[in-house]
Amino acid sequence: MQGIGFYKSALALQNKYASGKKIDNILQTNGTLLNEEWCKFFAKNHFLIGISIDGPQDIHDSFRLNKAGKPTFEKVMNGIALLKKYKVEFNTLSVVNKLSEGRGGEIYHFLKNIGSHYMQFLPAVEHIVEIPGRKRAVIVPPEHEGAQQAPWSVSAKGYGEFLNDIFDIWVRNDVGQYFVQIFDSTLAQYCGVQPGLCSMNETCGEALIVEHNGDVYPCDHFVYPEYKLGNISEKSLREIYLNQKRFDFGMDKRSTLPRECLNCEYYTLCRGECPKHRFEAISADEGKRNALCDGFKLFFKHTRPSMKYLRDLLAAGRPAYDVIPWARTNF
């Protein structure tokens, strides 16, 4: 993590060059290095902090280890306590893995109890190869020779049921008080507005990633040499953004989908989801299907009545939380 001086310099440059524009500063961290100095700085400068925490201690400490292989849960919780002490706004990002299956409600209540009002749940679907001489397997793209799906990956059915378990609690109790990114994005699709989640857009490649050395990629899931767009020390960010390679990457999200997806009743909701997860072959002459497809179908089917009711509430100018009494009776 860069020292606090780096961020002070960044703020100074913002103040110098913003020209009246509003700049929001967001920092994603595992929380293990947060201390009083950092939290005072975040509070003073109105940073929003994203905390990576996967749930209760037994789930979190199964995969979130430090370089020495030691668990990190207690350090993360100490960091969250400091954020609360200094009234720093924070949200949470939780990776949904094999251990999360069947524990959606438990994880949701845990996150509520630690003070998270905005939650993201990212499915862990990774491929690995074993390399002689290395203690740990290496994460690789699914097309890599010898790649196998990682044993910690969440199953499609497990992910769909995980989301449904949380949704059932949320729609009956918490609408308007707690926010879950995929629920918000799904509702946005029903309302015909931008979903705010790149995986649910028709095309992608808009969220550029700048690495520590200045290399730029079209997505943080595709930081591989073949996807490199350029380097900000050699080209302007505008020039890199207008790169045909970036445009082609974004259009591939739609153009490489198999007919099964394009004809699916849920296509306008998921849009094929993230290309990173498309590695299930349908036929030799078709694109590959998303490995989480069956899980998303479970989620979209289960939530459809509530999403339609929410859409109609908003269209009538009523608050979203008016869905709660309806959901308790009808859902």
Residues labelled as active-site residues: 220
Q: Rounded to whole angstroms, what are the CA distances from 314 to 187, 305, 319?
A: 10, 15, 6
Three-class DSSP category at 197 = coil
CB 288 within 8 A of CB 258: yes
Measure the CA–CA gap between 104 and 125, rounded to whole angstroms. Answer: 17
Q: Tokens 């999200």 label which residue?
A: 253
User: 38, exposed or middle or buried, with CB in 10 Å at 0-12, 13-18, 19+?
Assistant: buried
H-helix or E-strand spanning residue 90: strand 90-96
Token reading at 111: 């996150």
Q: Rounded to whole angstroms, what are the CA distances from 90 to 134, 202, 234?
A: 36, 29, 35
Measure the CA–CA gap between 255 and 244, rounded to whole angstroms. Answer: 16
Sheet holding 48-52, edge to edge: 26-29, 48-52, 90-96, 118-123, 179-180
Please give the span between the terminal C-alpha atoms of the chain, in angstroms, as a whole number: 46
Looking from the CA of 310 toward its CB, the CA atoms found within 13 Å total 25
